């Protein structure tokens, strides 16, 4: 287990980031620094550019211009190897639950005995102890997303990106996943998560990035953004209004 200590805090930042398609600017972020002192939630309406920003931070998309840095160094293969991502729809192998986890652990060169004990730990972490031999494809939506998160955690990531991981789940399933995310955060995993849900932001966020029409319109401590928003978009979001 890693403890969150100040020297481990890594700054993930973007500078002069721009993505355009067919003459339209989809994302334009002059400066954004994420200190990782707890979960960062990226909020905003559909099409605001949340997923594009998340994918840039993970190095999945190379921006047309600008750069992504970790601790002032351009995001490199080592940084990316210490990141993991979970998507809205869980992507799982057509294998059993435990084989999905074993696949990731094996690639890290772990012995069979260590893999087995790590799989047991992970299954307990995700409340999937009784499902080890079940086909991953037969899991419920909430169970499948828990497995996707466990598989990402099996990589022992420094940063875990999550793109609306609970958007199609009911409150019970959402609560289980939020608890997993908070436990990971408390162990020192940096969490950067896209969400539409203001309640989720209240429950999880240490800081909030508010996006609208390809721009970051506000970034600050969650309490500050939720209690005293400065942008119109955040004000309407917090008040439960429709933000377009």
Ligand X SMILES: Nc1ncnc2c1ncn2[C@@H]1O[C@H](COP(=O)(O)OP(=O)(O)OP(=O)(O)O)[C@@H](O)[C@H]1O
Residue ranges in contact with ligand X by CB under 6 A: 21, 26, 44, 46-52
Name 75's Cβ contacts closer than 8 Å, sequence gap at least 6. 57, 59, 67, 68, 69
With CA atoms as reference, report the closest residue to 121 among 90, 154, 145, 161. Answer: 154
CB nearer to ligand X: give 25 or 135.
25
CB nearer to ligand X: give 38 or 44.
44
Q: Give me the least distance between CB of 212 and ligand X, in Å please.
A: 9
CB nearer to ligand X: give 46 or 133.
46
Q: Give me the least distance between CB of 2 and ligand X, in Å please.
A: 30
Q: Give me the least distance between CB of 57 and ligand X, in Å please.
A: 12
Q: Give me the least distance between CB of 52 and ligand X, in Å please.
A: 4
* CA gap 86, 73 in Å, rounded: 24
| Helix residue spans in the chain (DSSP H) | 50-57, 77-81, 97-106, 112-125, 141-153, 171-186, 198-204, 222-227, 232-238
With CA atoms as reference, report the closest residue to 130 among 120, 144, 141, 138. Answer: 120
Owner of token pair 């609306």: 164
With CA atoms as reference, report the closest residue to 39 among 153, 157, 162, 156. Answer: 162
Owner of token pair 């999880």: 204
Q: Give me the least distance between CB of 136 and ligand X, in Å please.
A: 24
CB nearer to ligand X: give 46 or 130.
46
CB nearer to ligand X: give 48 or 177.
48
């Amino acid at each position: 287990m890693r403890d969150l200590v100040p020297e481990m805090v890594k700054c993930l930042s973007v500078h002069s980031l721009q993505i355009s398609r067919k003459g339209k600017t989809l994302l334009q972020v002059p400066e954004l620094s994420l200190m990782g002192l707890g979960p960062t939630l990226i909020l905003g309406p559909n099409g605001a550019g949340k997923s594009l920003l998340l994918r840039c931070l993970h190095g999945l998309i190379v921006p047309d211009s600008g750069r992504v840095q970790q601790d002032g160094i351009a995001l490199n293969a080592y940084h990316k190897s210490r990141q993991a991502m979970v998507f809205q729809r869980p992507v799982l192998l057509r294998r059993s639950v435990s084989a999905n986890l074993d696949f990731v652990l094996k690639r890290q060169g772990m012995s069979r005995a260590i893999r087995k004990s790590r799989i047991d730990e992970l299954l307990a972490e995700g409340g999937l102890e009784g499902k080890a031999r079940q086909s991953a494809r037969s899991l419920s939506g909430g169970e499948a997303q828990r497995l996707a998160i466990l598989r990402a955690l099996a990589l022992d990531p420094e940063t875990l990106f999550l793109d609306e991981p609970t958007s199609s789940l009911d409150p019970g399933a959402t609560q289980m996943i939020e608890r997993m995310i908070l436990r990971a955060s408390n162990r020192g995993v940096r969490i950067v998560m896209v969400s539409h849900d203001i309640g989720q932001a209240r429950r999880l966020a240490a800081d909030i990035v508010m996006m609208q029409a390809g721009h970051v319109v506000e970034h600050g401590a969650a309490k500050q953004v939720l209690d005293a928003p400065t942008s119109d978009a955040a004000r309407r979001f917090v008040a439960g209004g429709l933000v377009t």
